[in-house]
Amino acid sequence: MNTSTATTARTQSEAASQKLRATISARTRPSRPSALSASLTFGWRALLKIKHVPEQLFDVTMFPIMFTLMFTYLFGGALAGSTGEYLQFLLPGILVQTIVMITMYTGLALNNDVSKGIFDRFRTLPIWQPSAILGALLGDAARYTMASTVVIVLGLVLGFRPDGGVVGVLLAVLLLIVFSISLTWIWTVLGLIARTPNSVMGISMMVLFPLTFGSNIFVNPETMPKWLQTLVDINPITHLVSAVRGLMHDTVKTEQIVWVLIASAVLVVVFAPITMYLYRNKR
């Protein structure tokens, strides 16, 4: 009886195994995801990080609110004679500073993936390899848009009135996002070569603080010493702020926009290939 039962069980198991093999072999292999599909998936992954760790939005919300209020009401009267007049000058610069400062988080997130081993898993997937980087940039573009919205809405509440209207503001934000995504390629390189996320943040802040504070964000460079004016004039953030400020107040010059676009293209051409080389060959 026991032998018969064992034989029957073995027969049923073999039949089930054969049926499973037939089912698996009959199915066609799923097609490889397109470059766009893979990039959008990684972009969604970047947004899901914000959903599960909402503290990441602090730099997008609290940082611009704090700086706008602090500089407008603490220094506006001394620097421009009135807080309302200074706000018209300051807000485009604060917008640039806010977005540029948070570009480093792409390199920080990439370095974190490397340290946790997620990076190696991505490289084994049958996907277009740059999609992991481009998807992260798409997610960052959404963060930049959220941060821009916070700054502009706060400015409108405080009395900011852009002469360029809605179109000028939208074009300014678009130009800023284009430059910021281009700048992010520097931090992706840093994220792949730095040993720890803290190293990425430390080096990034060492670069970004002089660039943002040594520009025309807070004051007119004409009030500075000649040697400092020279440094400010060659600072890429200065040109970006001038273009954004000009678009918002309808005083922009074509060469200002062209300069920002050329600088953005140079950053991508130089640092994007380095990023992908490091991404493919990192051990």
In a domain, residue 106? The reply is yes
Q: Which structural domain, as residue segments, surrounds residue 250? A: 34-281
- Residues 54 and 144 sit within 8 Å (Cβ to Cβ): no
- Residues 184 and 193 sit within 8 Å (Cβ to Cβ): no
In a domain, residue 3? The reply is no
Q: Which of 144, 145, 139 is nearest to 110 (CA)?
A: 139
What is residue 3's predicted lDDT score, i.e. its pLDDT? 60
What is residue 20's predicted lDDT score, i.e. its pLDDT? 63
How far apart, in Å, are the Cα atoms of 21 and each of 30, 46, 149, 198, 242?
17, 38, 55, 50, 66
In a domain, residue 22? The reply is no
In a domain, residue 187? The reply is yes
How far apart, in Å, are the Cα atoms of 173 and each of 134, 188, 201, 227?
20, 22, 25, 31
In a domain, residue 18? The reply is no
3-state secondary structure of 43: helix
Residues near 132 by Cβ (< 8 Å), separated by ≥ 6? 38, 42, 122, 279
Q: Looking at the 3D structure of the chain, how many domains does it have?
A: 1
Q: Which of 178, 206, 204, 210 is nearest to 191 (CA)?
A: 204
What is residue 224's predicted lDDT score, i.e. its pLDDT? 84
In a domain, residue 25? The reply is no
What is residue 106's predicted lDDT score, i.e. its pLDDT? 84
In a domain, residue 250? The reply is yes
Kindly give the parts of the chain with pLDDT less than 70.
1-12, 20-30, 52-57, 59, 282-283
In a domain, residue 24? The reply is no
